[in-house]
Amino acid sequence: MKIFAGLSAFPLTPLPHDAVDDEQAFTGLITRLATAAVDSITALGSTGSYACLTPDEWARVTQLAVEHAGETPVFTGVGALRTSQILANIDQAEAAGVLLAPITYQPLTENDVFELFRTVSEHTRLPVIVYGNPGTTHFTFTTDLYARIARLPGIASIKMPGVPADPATAKDHIATIRAAVPECVTIGISGDASAANGLNAGCDAWYSVVGGTMPALALGLIRAAQAGRAADAVTESERLTPLWSLFADFGGSLRVVAAIAEHLGLVPFQSLPLPLQGLNPAQRERVAEVMDGLNLSL
């Protein structure tokens, strides 16, 4: 589906402060993304801390995203520990599509995950994005499982983790998944450091953490790949190597992107939900140095 392609930006959800200030910060992020003309906005992905919200908070954030996105399609994460809560979230999701990651306290089997998506597929007419995020959920999709789920009604896209660094290997990896799923199901890359390789290897979409805070940066990379300027996309990604290194050194992208958004004044200080503490002062100083070095203080 066309709306499940291009740049889907994943904004933060500022949480632990005054409710009015948090809402203003969140709607400011959404407006920023819509103004930048991203292709879609995915509210309440892992960057948006969906698993930390109460049902009422979840509903309010989704509502605000849709209200302030203008004509930009909004997808919303509906993941929860129990299928009943996922279905309840879906029933309140007045969005263009839903993003579903299999999360749980107990380890999940492939059959557990397939039955989850089958239940959701039968429950809603909203398009569904299959969210593979093993670093967070500790569940890894196989190509065979992607194939089974992708044949369910309403499955629109697969959000897969990063691809191999070698371009030829990455291309073979994407081709294997493409051959296993219906043509109407788009394949999206996540793991921002892998975005250029994934897009050049044939991915239709980039589900982007960086895009949720610095959309112009992400748009420059993906538009180069979409225009067939593969080398330019790689060059842009390589220019951002210091940023990707921060992600690797500081336990993933969430804390780094939160520090960037706080540094830019887009969200309140210490915007992550407890018990996440964010970065310490020395780490924040390093983030600021990288931003200055890359001219990212925009």
Alpha carbon distance 139, 27 (integer Å): 32
Q: Which of 52-56, 95-99, 208-212, 214-218 is predicted least confidently?
A: 52-56
- Quick one: pLDDT at residue 81? 93
The verdict on residue 145 lying in a domain is: yes
Q: Which of 63-67, 73-77, 279-283, 291-295 is predicted least confidently?
A: 291-295
The verdict on residue 240 lying in a domain is: no
Q: Quick check: helix, strand or coil at residue 287?
A: helix
Alpha carbon distance 239, 149 (integer Å): 37
Between the CA atoms of 211, 274, 17 and 133, what dihedral angle is there, to the nearest 10 degrees?
20
| Residue 9 parent element (H or E) | strand 6-9
Alpha carbon distance 40, 190 (integer Å): 14
- Quick one: pLDDT at residue 17? 59
Alpha-carbon distance values, 210 to 1, 9, 216, 240, 263 (Å): 23, 8, 9, 11, 14
Task: Give the pLDDT mean for 184-194.
Answer: 96
- Quick one: pLDDT at residue 141? 97
> Residue-wise over 83-95: b if at least 16 C-beta within 10 A, else e?
eeebebbbeebeb
Between the CA atoms of 65, 71, 73 and 79, what dihedral angle is there, to the nearest 10 degrees?
10
What total number of domains does the chain contain?
Answer: 1
pTM as predicted: 0.94
| Lookup: tokens for 223 | 């538009």
The verdict on residue 147 lying in a domain is: yes
Alpha carbon distance 190, 208 (integer Å): 6
| Lookup: tokens for 233 | 């996309």
Opening angle at CA 30, ends 75 and 210, nearest 5: 80
Task: Give the pLDDT mean for 283-295.
Answer: 93
The verdict on residue 112 lying in a domain is: yes
The verdict on residue 30 lying in a domain is: yes
**pLDDT of 284 above 60:** yes
Task: Give the pLDDT mean for 165-190.
Answer: 96
Alpha carbon distance 210, 112 (integer Å): 32
Range of the domain at 145: 2-229
Arithmetic mean of pLDDT over the chain? 94
**Residue 266 backbone dihedrals phi, psi, to 5 degrees:** -80, -25
CATH code at position 219: 3.20.20.70
- Quick one: pLDDT at residue 135? 86
The verdict on residue 293 lying in a domain is: no
Alpha carbon distance 86, 103 (integer Å): 11
104-163: per-residue pLDDT in tens?
A: 899 999 999 999 999 999 999 999 999 999 988 999 999 999 999 999 999 999 999 989
Contacts of 34 (CB under 8 A, 6+ apart): 41, 68, 69, 70, 71, 72
The verdict on residue 158 lying in a domain is: yes
* Residue (of 68, 66, 57, 55) closest to 24 by Cα position: 68
7-43: per-residue pLDDT in tens?
A: 999 999 987 655 656 889 999 999 999 999 999 999 9
The verdict on residue 206 lying in a domain is: yes
Q: Which long-range contacts (CB under 8 A, 24 or more apart) does 283-288 make?
A: 283/250, 283/255, 283/259, 284/259, 286/246, 287/246, 287/256, 287/259, 287/260, 287/263, 288/263
